[in-house]
Homo-oligomer: A and B are copies of this chain.
């Protein structure tokens, strides 16, 4: 079926057994300028966006930058650190997003709305990168929901506390919000381009590998058209609004949202 000796990456869309490698030329900046850490991380993100996470190797990233793999070690201590840097860079894109950066000038709900949509935009822009966010260990080990960028956490907490949340309520809100956000986006991204890329199966290979016996799942089959609808955007809005409503109640009651925890 597949070409023999495809190496460690069965996900990459190589397929044809012609010339070696086929590294996509020229990094986005195009400039031949000196390498630095920022350029290496940027190239890694562009590479992952184009080729997928599994295709990223030190050697291929080097080739992508017109350099031998060993040269990268001057800017990045190793592959793991490269991936950490990629996650951090992607999340920090948020701070270049004018829609998000207005801070809490129109109230905390508006701020959380804009932040959530900003994160969603990033997740959809880099669907191959986003799963890394969930699997990398957090920057500060004791920040529980590991949203990676401490700038996020800091600005989130101050916005809510400045709006009248108690410290406990702000922390609880941070947990609920980040859990919803990462959870929803991880799922949304995992069902998007990640595997159903437009031009897969370039040869005449039949796409379905070994379709499991569907006759055991009559309801799933009957509701196929409903199940295959992509309502992610609407579901995101709805779940986000619901969350904000819950937080509003918490704020109004001036308590942390623990069950059975009336007043204080």
**Looking across the interface, which residue of chain B has its beta carbon closest to that of A139?**
B212
A143, B183: Cβ atoms closer than 8 Å: no
- In the complex, A229→B175 CA distance in Å? 11
- In the complex, A146→B195 CA distance in Å? 12
Interface stretch among A59-67, A97-105, A217-225?
A217-225
A68 to chain B, nearest CB (A): 19
- In the complex, A256→B138 CA distance in Å? 38
9 more A-B contacts (CB under 8 A) besides A131-B134, A167-B226, A179-B183?
Answer: A10-B78, A134-B190, A140-B220, A141-B196, A154-B217, A154-B219, A157-B223, A234-B259, A238-B258
- In the complex, A234→B259 CA distance in Å? 8
Report which A residues bind B (CB closer than 8 A).
10-11, 78-80, 131, 134-135, 137-146, 150-151, 153-154, 157-158, 161, 167-168, 170-172, 174-176, 178-180, 182-184, 186-187, 190-191, 194-196, 211-212, 214, 216-220, 223-224, 226-232, 234-235, 237-239, 241-242, 246, 257-259
- In the complex, A190→B171 CA distance in Å? 18
- In the complex, A36→B178 CA distance in Å? 42
**Looking across the interface, which residue of chain B has its beta carbon closest to that of A170?**
B223
A40 to chain B, nearest CB (A): 17
The copy count of this chain in the complex is 2
Q: Which residues of B contact A211 (CB under 8 A)?
A: 140
**13 residue pairs bridging A and B, Cβ less than 8 Å apart:** A134-B186, A142-B227, A142-B228, A144-B230, A153-B217, A154-B216, A167-B226, A170-B223, A171-B226, A182-B187, A183-B186, A234-B258, A237-B259
Q: Which residues of B contact A241 (CB under 8 A)?
A: 259
A248 to chain B, nearest CB (A): 14
Q: Which residues of B contact A157 (CB under 8 A)?
A: 219-220, 223
- In the complex, A229→B194 CA distance in Å? 34
Q: Which residues of B contact A183 (CB under 8 A)?
A: 179-180, 182-184, 186-187
- In the complex, A224→B161 CA distance in Å? 15
Query: Would A235 and B179 be within 8 Å (CB), given that A134-B134, A154-B220, A195-B137 are in contact?
Result: yes
